[in-house]
Amino acid sequence: MIDFEAAGQAFQGYRSEPQGQARGAVLVIHEIWGLNPHTRDIADRFAAAGYLAVAPDLMGLAGLDAVLLAELGERRADPAAQAEVQPLIRAATAPMNSPEMAARTKAGVAVVFDYLNATSEGTDRTAVVGFCFGGTYAFSLAAAEPRLAAAVPFYGHANYSPEDLASISCPILAFYGANDTALMDALPDLTTKMQDANIDFRPTVFPEAGHAFFNDTNPTVYREGPALAAWSLTLEFLEQQLIRP
């Protein structure tokens, strides 16, 4: 684990290194459940593909109780418990919606990006990949950081003005499940705004999937076909954007 500090608060990140020289660097941002084994596994998969990967634990910066949300996430995987658990999840995640907590989380993401971009592997070759909560902050980093080489948000929110979107300079490969109603309702407008801003935005929708389809630790939402396809497309995209002669 690596120690970081942002907004006056200490936090840590999980670092996974490839064998041999890294092909670039990837900042992996977790779901709302925190830096759990699933997120560490994703970082390890990027390392196995040849990238230096760091997955920060942003729960404290976002004002979230990591232990409680990890427990609720495990309970939510049981279909019989979903009706009971869902209001508890909404209450537990409410703090992250405050502007103060959002600013602190963005500061943490920026610190980790700076760390990766300062490495020989990451200089001008750092991408961000995020899931749900992390997908939202992947969009956020793309809008804030001109040095970012690529962004891959999985089912993230991007409620930005055209002026904010105009600051994005990297290509974005974004994944959605067709059954993820809220994000699908917002996607046409987002796509139009991206096109108007001349951003290389590549939304990919899987018709047989919903929210969190990549999370193979939750059988109620995981969809193997879309998850495998999204992973393959992600590696292809990163190879195009990060690997240079």
Confidence of residue 79 (pLDDT cuts 50, 70, 90): confident
Q: Which domain holds residue 138?
A: 2-242
Number of domains in the chain: 1
Nearest-angstrom CA–CA distance, 124 and 120 = 9
CATH (domain of 25)? 3.40.50.1820
CA 69 from chain center: how many Å?
17
* Tokens coding 154: 């999985």
Task: Report the pLDDT averaged over residues 35-52.
Answer: 97
Confidence of residue 82 (pLDDT cuts 50, 70, 90): confident
Return the half-sphere exposure (C-beta side, CA atoms, 13 A cut-off) of residue 29: 33
Q: Which of 94, 74, 138, 78 is nearest to 112 (CA)?
A: 138
Nearest-angstrom CA–CA distance, 30 and 214 = 12
Residues 6+ apart with CB under 8 A from 78: none
Tell me what pLDDT residue 86 has: 86
pTM of the model: 0.95
What value does the mean pLDDT of the chain take? 93
The model's pLDDT over 155-188, given as tens digits with 9 standing for 90+, comes to 999 988 888 899 999 999 999 999 999 999 999 9
* Tokens coding 185: 């309702």
Tell me what pLDDT residue 245 has: 52
The model's pLDDT over 100-149, given as tens digits with 9 standing for 90+, comes to 989 999 999 999 999 999 987 778 899 999 999 999 999 999 999 999 99
Q: What are phi and psi of 56, to 5 degrees?
A: -80, 155
Task: Report the pLDDT averaged over residues 42-49.
Answer: 98
Nearest-angstrom CA–CA distance, 154 and 214 = 8
